[in-house]
Amino acid sequence: MNDKGIDFSKMPDQAIGVITTPATFFRTMPRDGGFIDPMVFAIAMSLAAALIQIVLGLIGLGQAGMTTMAATGFFAIIMVPIFVLVGSFIGAAIAYVIWRFLGSDQNYETAFRCVAYMTAIMPLTALISAIPYLGTLIHVAWVFWLMIIASTEVHGIRYKTAQLVFGIIGAIIAIISISNEYATRHFRENFEQFSKQFGQDMENKSPEELGQAVGEFLKGLENANQKEQPE
């Protein structure tokens, strides 16, 4: 952090820069200056995304799994920034290793700054997440497109090399993300279906019948979830 402290007024312009002119942003981005500024930026963007997810969750939209989190309100506001911040440090470490392998001479701080400022897209991708599957694909594609741009503008890596490496990694991540979303959505649907069945006439059951119903409910839920898993 510099002597003047954190300039929150710059964050909107920084976010707009990453979204609209990413090549210019990363080309002119300071390579050093400490971790505080990019950390605070990532927290601010994740907070905005969490609030959007909460609103989407309240109206029954949003990415599967995040809707459930949105129902807890303040839990999401607290936990999402923590997850994003931790993920930024881990993601920066992985990206740093890849960039160094590809010939970059930049240090870990620079890698972290690149990854942290990429969170500028989070509020928009939070809105897009209301579209099943397509929202996930757009989010992954956008992230790795920014990785390619940062590779060329910050780390001096040839565009075709960055495109090949991060294109392959992005495709793998996209497949995994879509598979996870598919499983999560169908598990949720099955859970709601069996919960509804389980709740019928429970007040008229004896303790023995209730215990048996619980066992049947869990077994049915497990079997249904296994059937829905993609091969």
3-state secondary structure 149-163: HHHHHCCCCCHHHHH
Residue 70: what pLDDT? 45
Residue 160 has pLDDT above 50, yes or no: yes
pLDDT number for residue 1: 44
By mean pLDDT, which of 50-64, 86-100, 106-120, 201-215 is the weakest? Answer: 201-215
Per-residue pLDDT, 109: 97
Radius of gyration over every alpha carbon of the chain, rounded to an integer in angstroms? 22
Q: Are 77 and 55 in contact (CB under 8 A)?
A: no
Indicate the pTM of the whole model: 0.75
Neighbours of 53 (CB within 10 A): 26
Residue-level pLDDT at 111: 97
Q: What is the pLDDT of residue 191?
A: 54
Percent of the chain predicted with pLDDT > 70: 70
* Percent of the chain's residues with pLDDT above 90: 52
